[in-house]
């Protein structure tokens, strides 16, 4: 039988969990969001909209200043939405000591690759080191950054337990991968189901309570590793299928077959087929990166992920294939790529957003500049591009007029924004290399790539 002291300790630990869940359910908890980018800021707004007190943390002083003045740096988030959040009590700060005021801490920092295409967890680790002095009993910590299976247990757990806190009893740890799709009005932070895995069953209970008040459907899984692997599977599934259709595009092109007509026909099958579409290469913060997280971790278990790596090779080579189409089109006009004027249409990684992370446009610009082409871009969502590309660090979007379009030897359509007037562009352009299948009919100055 348990003695009275042991019984009291167990009851006390149970009380910590129940009090935290009660605060979360009653919206009395203070929510801390660490990282105020494309993932963190929508979470801030969602929690704020249902009356939670929210503190947003970021090391970028300019971001904090902008948010404090209701200035949005993300196109699809309006100034008015930020004003409402500020009135509700939202506070943006660079003062990480205020972590001590929070009941819940959600980590939404980048997890890029290093120059060797290996996982770079420096942002996650640095964030944990910054908040560690201010962690205390009665808090829940959730990691949302995409990463390899085991990160939560290998990197976050030891840093928390080093403080003498018992995870699952005094403090709680979960992993819940972000599923943001910027500017997608059909699926929002509220309506996209949320996967959540806990370090223990008690951690999972707290994690479900953390998200249930802002997400319509929370999907509990048995561990943080399962949740981490779930995120990778979702994005590797897309990367592999895009690699397949990109390879088929190259084969179809050699056979003089329209791959988009093939996809449309195949998509009429009501079962067993999901349409994926080719492009100039992968973009975004997840799909070009996530497969490398799993292949890197798999090597620790002496497993070769050949299928995933092959798809990565195909997708990585797509920009070079597109450039070959540009060169061939110019050759047909008796022009060399060197000193030709090329206009990139769209530098965002996907249509109708201002997000340029890992956009294939950068690789295309780099390849064109390396071959001596003169490159400009036009993107209604990205007026200024401050990025180091082959020695150039500042680009400005070109307005599309009849005169400007006629100036270029070739237009390279990379991102198919709805704001582009494609009939107008086609009317005044000399050559268009269409990497997105926008122009479905045969046109003398349009070449599909």
Active-site residues, by number, are 286
Block residue for tokens 């082409």: 373
Q: What is the distance between the alpha carbons of residues 64 and 86, in angstroms, rounded to a whole number? A: 12
340: left (phi over 0), alpha (psi -120 to 50) or beta: beta
CB 234 within 8 A of CB 249: no
Residues 6 or more apart whose CB falls under 8 angstroms from that of 390 comprise: 365, 366, 369, 370
Q: What is the distance between the alpha carbons of residues 252 and 248, in angstroms, rounded to a whole number? A: 6
DSSP letters for 135-174: --TT-EEEE-S---TTHIIIIIHHHHHTTT--BTTTBEEE
Q: What is the distance between the alpha carbons of residues 236 and 248, in angstroms, rounded to a whole number? A: 18
Q: Are strands 140-143 and 30-34 parallel, antiparallel or unpaired?
A: unpaired
SS3 sequence, 37-68?
A: CCCHHHHHHHHHHCCCEEEEECCCHHHHHHHH
| Half-sphere exposure of residue 426: CA atoms within 13 angstroms, side-chain side | 14
3-class DSSP state for residue 73? coil
Tell me how far apart the terminal alpha carbons of the chain are, to the nearest angstrom: 74
Block residue for tokens 């929510």: 31
Q: Which two tokens stand for residue 253?
A: 């092109």
CA angle 215, 284, 108 (to 5 degrees): 45
């Amino acid at each position: 039988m348990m003695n009275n002291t042991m019984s009291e300790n167990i009851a006390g630990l149970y009380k910590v969990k129940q009090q935290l869940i009660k605060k979360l359910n009653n919206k009395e908890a203070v929510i801390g969001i660490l990282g105020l980018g494309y993932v963190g800021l929508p979470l801030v707004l969602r929690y704020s909209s249902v009356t939670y007190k929210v503190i947003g943390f970021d090391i970028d002083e300019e971001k904090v200043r902008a948010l404090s003045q209701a200035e949005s740096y993300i196109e699809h988030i309006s100034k008015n939405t930020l004003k409402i959040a500020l009135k509700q009590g939202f506070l943006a700060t660079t003062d990480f000591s205020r972590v001590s005021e929070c009941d819940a801490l959600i980590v939404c920092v980048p997890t890029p690759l290093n120059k060797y295409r290996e996982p770079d967890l420096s942002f996650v680790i640095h964030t944990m080191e910054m908040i560690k002095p201010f962690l205390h009993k009665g808090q829940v910590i959730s990691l949302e950054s995409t990463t390899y299976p085991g990160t939560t247990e290998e990197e976050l757990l030891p840093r928390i337990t080093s403080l003498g806190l018992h995870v699952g009893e005094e403090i709680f740890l979960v992993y819940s991968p972000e599923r943001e799709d910027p500017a997608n009005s059909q699926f929002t932070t509220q309506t996209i189901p949320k996967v959540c895995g806990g370090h223990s069953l008690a951690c999972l209970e707290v994690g479900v309570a953390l998200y249930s008040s802002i997400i319509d459907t929370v999907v509990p899984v048995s561990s943080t590793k399962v949740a981490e692997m779930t995120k990778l599977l979702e994005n590797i599934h897309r990367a592999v299928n895009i690699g397949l259709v990109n390879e088929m595009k190259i084969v179809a092109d050699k056979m003089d077959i329209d791959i988009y007509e093939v996809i449309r026909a195949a998509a009429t099958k009501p079962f067993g087929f999901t349409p994926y579409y080719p492009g100039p290469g992968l973009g975004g913060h997840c799909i070009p990166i996530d497969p490398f997280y799993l292949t890197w971790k798999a090597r620790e278990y002496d497993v070769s992920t050949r299928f995933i790596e092959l798809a990565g090779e195909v997708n990585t080579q797509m920009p070079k294939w597109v450039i070959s189409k540009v060169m061939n089109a110019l050759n047909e006009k008796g022009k060399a790529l060197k000193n030709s004027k090329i206009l990139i249409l769209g530098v965002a990684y996907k249509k109708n957003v201002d997000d340029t992370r890992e956009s294939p446009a950068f690789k295309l610009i780099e390849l064109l500049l390396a071959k001596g082409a003169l490159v400009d871009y036009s993107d209604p969502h990205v007026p200024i591009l401050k990025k180091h590309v082959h020695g150039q660090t500042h680009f400005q979007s070109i307005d599309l007029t009849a005169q400007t379009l006629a100036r270029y030897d070739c237009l390279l359509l990379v991102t198919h924004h709805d704001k582009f007037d494609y009939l107008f562009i086609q009317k005044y352009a000399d050559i268009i290399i269409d990497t997105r299948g926008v122009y479905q009919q045969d046109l003398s100055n349009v070449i599909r790539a």
